[in-house]
A and B are shown apart, each in its own frame.
Chain A
């Protein structure tokens, strides 16, 4: 890269590094050659140096020499006063938050909020599906399960079906339903009928046979 091709802004951001010798020889040479050719950057370099001289005056602003004499004493007094008035847990938490960079806590809060909202959404869906058992709106049940909702036509005993799909079908006979290797029977058998009279299906037992899903027929 030729020295005049260098972006002036980038050159000007490197003035400190150049002055303090933190650049490689090659880069330093490029910068110097750019400064020889570029009047704007040269003027800017002089103004920066003068500003730094001006700011250096602030180094001489000092409190009176005896100012720090009782600094440690005051520190102990404040510590003592804080110990006497121990803040509540939430105040201590707020103090610890303010001692950390704000950005970190912003991310932590955003993350916690996301988890909270996601948990709330899942919980509300589960509650909603529990309040609308078999016989309810099939689409609600389908939204809980990612499994497809199959036809409500009675299935032959040889067919298997996902549990949630079975649960969404309205009143079933009392004989056990097949869901892969799982046997599901209506809760009627356990005298557990809800107000609407719709039976609730409960898991009776789990066999070791892996579930197999086959579509019997789909009606639109």
Chain B
């Protein structure tokens, strides 16, 4: 399958199954246009979206969907909720693209929308405690960090990967929304304090403080694995 064909399928252009999109009909030649857009930076794609080219926004969706999904998933521990929240956040971003002033990068802006939506969602959902977890990639078992971790944990008691995953998710769900957000962004996603501060619109000191208290709480909950 050629790259162009793959892109065509990705963007739903020319697919016989998908109905034509009434919001902004694609303009021919779509395949070449989509391929060109893939190489453009965020700024120019945002400018094109503002001029009414939905194809440009599609590229942004493809570019960031997985990272957005991962963050929201780790905050909710629920696969379906994560999907809904990311879709909603991207729709919100598309509709509000004219209000995006460019003071931060597009990714920070859309990330902020997704994190805020997720925090509000978790606040509303507080009583619900239903997990819908993704599978853990089995390749992790050959990861040196994981091997070292397990060698430390297993002498105390036999622990399976599934159990660890469940305990981790349970522990994260016990944190407050903001503490969970910073732990997810820093310790799971590997974002810097500065980037987290931009997303959460707070100081780096606040990020450090939240991380400190969140980790203290997690250490208490997960003490038997540390």
Q: In chain B, what residue has the closest Cβ to A81?
A: B91
- CB of B12 within 8 A of CB of A72, answer yes
Query: A146 within 8 Å of B by Cβ?
Result: no
Chain B residues near A56 (CB, 8 Å)? 145-146, 187-188
Question: Closest CB-CB distance, B8 to chain A, in whole Å?
Answer: 12
- With A53-B149, A68-B66, A73-B12 in contact, is A47–B226 under 8 Å at CB? yes
Tell me the A22-78 residues at the B interface (CB within 8 Å): 47-48, 50-64, 68, 71-76, 78
Query: B5 within 8 Å of A by Cβ?
Result: no
- CB of B12 within 8 A of CB of A13, answer no
- CB of B116 within 8 A of CB of A76, answer no
- CB of B135 within 8 A of CB of A62, answer yes
- With A51-B218, A54-B168 in contact, is A13–B120 under 8 Å at CB? no
User: In the bound complex, what is the Cα–Cα distance between A105 and B95 (angstroms)?
Assistant: 20
- CB of B208 within 8 A of CB of A13, answer yes
- CB of A75 within 8 A of CB of B91, answer yes
- CB of B23 within 8 A of CB of A96, answer no
- CB of A57 within 8 A of CB of B146, answer yes
- CB of A57 within 8 A of CB of B136, answer yes
Chain A residues near B146 (CB, 8 Å)? 53, 56-57
User: In the bound complex, what is the Cα–Cα distance between A98 and B200 (angstroms)?
Assistant: 14
- CB of A16 within 8 A of CB of B186, answer yes
- CB of B113 within 8 A of CB of A75, answer no
- With A9-B212, A57-B136 in contact, is A52–B187 under 8 Å at CB? yes
Question: Closest CB-CB distance, A118 to chain B, in whole Å?
Answer: 29
- CB of A61 within 8 A of CB of B22, answer no
Q: In chain A, what residue has the closest Cβ to B218?
A: A51
Chain B residues near A82 (CB, 8 Å)? 91, 95
User: In the bound complex, what is the Cα–Cα distance between A79 and B226 (angstroms)?
Assistant: 46
Chain B residues near A62 (CB, 8 Å)? 70, 134-137
Count chain A residues whose beta carbon lies closer than 8 angstroms to a beta carbon of B. Answer: 44
Question: Closest CB-CB distance, A78 to chain B, in whole Å?
Answer: 6
- CB of B133 within 8 A of CB of A98, answer no
Query: A218 within 8 Å of B by Cβ?
Result: no
Query: A99 within 8 Å of B by Cβ?
Result: yes
Q: Which of B61, B96, B226 contacts A72 (CB 8 A)?
A: B61
- CB of A101 within 8 A of CB of B183, answer no
Chain A residues near B94 (CB, 8 Å)? 79
- CB of A47 within 8 A of CB of B148, answer no
Would you give the 0/1 interface string for A3-21, flagging 1 where the beta carbon is closer than 8 Å to chain B? 0000001001110110010
User: In the bound complex, what is the Cα–Cα distance between A63 and B78 (angstroms)?
Assistant: 11
Query: B211 within 8 Å of A by Cβ?
Result: yes
Residues of A that sit less than 8 Å from B by CB: 9, 12-14, 16-17, 20, 47-48, 50-64, 68, 71-76, 78-80, 82-83, 95-96, 98-103
The 5 closest A-B pairs by CB, nearest first: A60-B140, A60-B137, A55-B187, A53-B149, A61-B134
Residues of B that sit less than 8 Å from A by CB: 10-12, 18, 21-23, 58, 61-62, 65-66, 69-70, 73-74, 79, 87-88, 90-92, 94-96, 112-113, 116-117, 120, 133-137, 139-140, 143, 145-146, 148-149, 152, 161, 164-165, 168-169, 183, 186-189, 192-193, 200-201, 208-209, 211-212, 215, 218-219, 222, 225-226
